[in-house]
Amino acid sequence: MQTPFQWVMLVLGLFLTFALPFLIPSDLLNFFIKSFITITAVLGITLLTGNCGQISLGHTAFMAVGAFVGAILLNQGIPLILSLVLAGLAGGIVGLIFGLPALRIKGFYLAFATLAAFYVIQFILIHYFGGVVGHSVPPPSIFGLSFNSDFRIYYLIASTCFMMTYFTKNITRCKWGRAFIAIRDHDIAANTLGVNVYFYKLMAFFIGCFYAGVAGLLLSIYMGWASVDHYSLTNCIWYLGMIIVGGMHSMSGAYMGVFFILGIEELGIVIAPKLAELFPYLSGSMIGAIPIIFVGLVLVLFIMFEPRGLVHRWEIIKTSMRLFPFSN
Amino acid sequence: MGKILNYIIAGLANGCIYSLIAIGFVLIYKSSSILNFAQGAIVILSAFVFYSFTIQLGIPIVIAILLALAFGALLGFVIERFILDRLIGQPILAIIILTLAFSEFLKGIMNLGWGTDILSAPQLFPRGNITILNIATLDYSRIAFLVITFVLISIFAIFYNKTKIGLAMKATSDDTIAAGSVGIRVRRVFAVTWIISCITAAAGGILVTNVMGIHYKVAEIGYKAMAVALVGGLQSLPGIIIIGPVMGILEFLSAAYLDPLVDGGMRDLAPFIILLIVLIFRPSGIFGWERIERI
């Protein structure tokens, strides 16, 4: 946000986002709703994994916690904004608890500990909070305006997503964000420099999972139903893949990664029925398998050939455009 | 009393298979510092291939087993040659996501090729059970599990400790650069490592699906084996060979005695809870090495 041009672009972008539902057909609108929910969740991963270096394979489980708590609260008639905050807090506190191993372990051990946390949380939700059936979520309302159609939910989700983006931006450039980056680069070195590693690691988990909780509730509002099926391990893998495809450390990376991967997934969903006609002898369900194969393949290829992500590509293009006649 | 003994023996048999699969994790981790999250998918893919060879193509079981193991070896070789190349030196997150995405990709392929129904594997061992001293009843497949995994792990131990290529693997895992400078072909050793770990995965897959049925969701057994590897300590082969059966026994006991309290599902959860508890008290696993870091 340094030049007037960037301000103009920001206002234009915001205006375009809020005018979007009038311009596009409804199935494309669903794509954007899904994208904005995913971006909210992925921003949490950007903070936790991209900035603080703590890998969490339990992110969708924390989303499910937020969704369940939020659904129960909304059913009790708690106002939407309060429910969103409480859902975020619930996700954050559960994240804090399962982030405790991070104080002693890191790397593969931490990744697998969070994977274990995923299964434990899913078990608890299914057995003690009515998980397999789940909870229905009534369309919430603010000031008498009920979010009962995709068209209206889009505004709720887009504005929440932008608020969270703004929040992320501010965290990454204040003292906390710099502490996160110091821990990511070398936690022992950060400790010797006076960064309270334990406190900031736990805070990274808390904030990252706060995002997860909010995104989880948003998803369940959009679906009208909170069930553990919406928060699978596969989704968690895709979310982590998105920050790699986008570029691990930046918010624009999160946006690019989400749109790119979800776009591939949509492509898979569109192509699958046509492929099923071409290869009738394959016994599996094309519609279930093709998107997974597409996204999995794209992630593998991306990490093999461009591990620094789309943002890195974009920087190269920007630099070469600036140097135009002299670039190679 | 007899009941407990039954659970313990059943757990022991299952746990041996965890050990067998976990050997793959430890070998790969020791040689190249990569934890292969796709192991579970490889386990089940080999089982599917075995299913196709026997049921769909009608190849005799012994030959089909060998072919399925060969398929596992080929898969390991291909992964090593085409993917591992680009992974060494990458950040841990990239490794984790690549192997996880690859495993999802394989699951998608399995879904496409064999569908989502639970297929029943060809009968390897005769049905029925025997009673020992009137206290414990055992079905034949569990006994076969114990014997087969014992034989396989022994073969592997001899291979790893006595043969030339096994010793080269040991040397490479100790210090890759030093091993390279005394003339060990490190890339070939990596290839052998991946091939062996995929063969053990395939063997585990053929065994375990014989009881559980073949379904791509069974790939989660890979995560259980990974819990065994982490509890045992990622650097320690003897560690995981001990921890596997212990974990299996704890799993069956908790299923038997805790399930009534929480209405079911404890069996799939026990390894993860044990892992979380162990990691809090011993971050590098029970037999693993403490990591000493420099700044």
Per residue in A245-291, pLDDT (tens digit) is 988 888 888 999 999 999 999 998 888 888 877 777 665 577 778 88
Distance CA A251, CA A244 (A): 12
Find the domain containing B134 and state its range. 2-218
Domain for residue B229, yes or no? Answer: no
Write out residues in chain B with pLDDT < 70, as ranges. 1-2, 128, 132-136, 291, 293-295
User: Can you give the pLDDT at residue A260?
Assistant: 93
A292 and B108 in contact by Cβ < 8 A? yes
Domain for residue B284, yes or no? Answer: no
Looking at the complex, report in whole angstroms how far the Cα of residue B244 sits from the nearest Cα belonging to chain A.
17
Write out residues in chain A with pLDDT < 70, as ranges. 1, 131, 281-284, 327-328
Question: Mutating which of B86, B96, B234 best tests the A interface, going by the most A Cβ atoms within 10 A?
Answer: B96
Domain for residue B250, yes or no? Answer: no
A290 and B108 in contact by Cβ < 8 A? yes
User: Can you give the pLDDT at residue B136?
Assistant: 67
Looking at the complex, report in whole angstroms how far the Cα of residue A200 sits from the nearest Cα belonging to chain B.
19
A299 and B101 in contact by Cβ < 8 A? yes
Looking at the complex, report in whole angstroms how far the Cα of residue A144 sits from the nearest Cα belonging to chain B.
42
Closest CA to B219 of B131, B105, B138: B105
- pLDDT, tens digit (0-9, with 9 covering 90-100), for B71-106: 999 999 998 888 877 777 778 888 889 999 999 999
Distance CA A51, CA A45 (A): 9
What b/e sequence results for A272-289 when a residue is b if at least 16 CB atoms lie within 10 Å of its CB, and e otherwise? beeebeeeeebebebeeb
ipTM of the complex: 0.89
pTM: 0.91
Please tell me the number of Cα atoms within 13 Å of B134 on its side-chain side: 0
Query: Within an 8 Å CB–CB cutoff, is residue A117 touching chain B?
Result: yes
Residue B163 sits at φ, ψ, to 5 deg, of: -80, 165
Nearest-by-Cβ selection for B92 from A55, A105, A296: A55
Structural tokens at position B200: 């053990």
Closest CA to A213 of A79, A2, A63: A63
- Please state the domain count of chain B: 1
User: Can you give the pLDDT at residue B267?
Assistant: 83
User: Can you give the pLDDT at residue B133?
Assistant: 66
CB–CB of B159/B166 below 8 Å?
yes
- pLDDT, tens digit (0-9, with 9 covering 90-100), for B183-219: 888 888 889 999 999 999 999 988 888 877 888 778 8
Distance CA B176, CA B162 (A): 20
A contacts of B275 (beta carbons < 8 Å): 112-113, 116
Domain for residue B211, yes or no? Answer: yes
Domain for residue B232, yes or no? Answer: no
> Please, is A76 exposed, middle or buried when counting C-beta atoms within 10 Å of its C-beta (0-12, 13-18, 19+)?
exposed
